Amino acid sequence: MRPYRLLNPLTWLISPLALLALWALVAHLGIFPRNLLVPPAQVLQTFEELLASGELVEHLSNSLSRLGLGFGIGSLCGLAFGVLMALSKTIEVYCAPLFHTLRQIPSIALIPMFVLLFGIDETFKIIIVAKTAFFPVALAASEGVKGIPRSYFEVADVYRLRWPTFVWRIALPAAAPPIITGFRISLTRAWVVLVATELLAADSGLGQMIEMARQMLRIDVVMVGVVVTGVIGFALDYGFRSLEQRLFRWQTR
């Protein structure tokens, strides 16, 4: 049992290592041209070069700053709107149909219109990230608050709690698990959409680095960008999952 316990936390490495070995084998056999599928060793060397020159750090910092600002704005607005839609029948009647329609529109489909409206400056990228983050959080907050037992509202009426007090001390803590899940989903979606946006219309960022490398046929740089994008996405999702487990550890007992 003890060796199993030591190996169990490392089982998540099996699939990445298997993929890496398959990648190296296919590149070594020359099944695809070398300028289309570069070996992992060359990608690692390119990664070190980009890291040493500061180019990768600059692009990554630009992308993460856009993600942080856009996600912060979109998720907080989504949280407020979702709670209001759950607690107010008036807002739900007038806004819910439009909300559920707009949330079905992929953010990528809005890029051409947003470029015409805002250009390709920072405002455009922050707005597209905020839009992506808004809807999952709003939906999670609305469904979470609607799932609160009716007895909570009855107790609030007995103690004559004001709505701000009820929301802050009762509604949000009671609906916290689905809301945190909504934050996690919106963050990873926002990251994917941001990189895709930078691929199409940007002058800096991880996606722009990938696109410029593609135009210059630097597939090694493209692979560095792809791998870094995946690692960052995994780290964001894993971080929120760890936060969920810590905050709601009592639910698993």
Listed by start position, the domains of the chain span: 40-252
Q: What pLDDT is recorded for position 6?
A: 46
Give me the mean pLDDT over the 206-230 stretch. 92
pLDDT confidence of residue 44: 92
Mean pLDDT of 66-95: 93
Is the confidence at residue 92, as pLDDT, over 70? yes
- Number of helices followed by number of strands (H, E) in the chain: 13, 0
- Phi, psi torsion values for 32, nearest 5 degrees: -115, 155
Q: Report residue 122's pLDDT band, with 50, 70 and 90 as the boundaries.
A: confident
> Collapsing DSSP states into helix, strand and coil, what is residue 230?
helix
Give the CA distances from residue 115 to residues 109, 129, 195, 198, 215, in Å, rounded to whole numbers and listed in that order: 11, 13, 15, 12, 21
> Left, alpha or beta for 54 (phi > 0: left; psi -120 to 50: alpha)?
left
Asked if pLDDT for residue 124 goes beyond 80, the answer is yes
* Structure token pair of residue 169: 């001390």
Task: Quote the pLDDT of residue 1.
Answer: 45
What integer pLDDT is reported at residue 171 of this predicted model?
83
The CATH class of 40-252 is: mainly alpha
Record the tokens describing residue 138, joined without a space: 């709003």
**Residue, of 150 and 214, whose pLDDT is higher:** 214
Cβ contact 245:184 at 8 Å: no
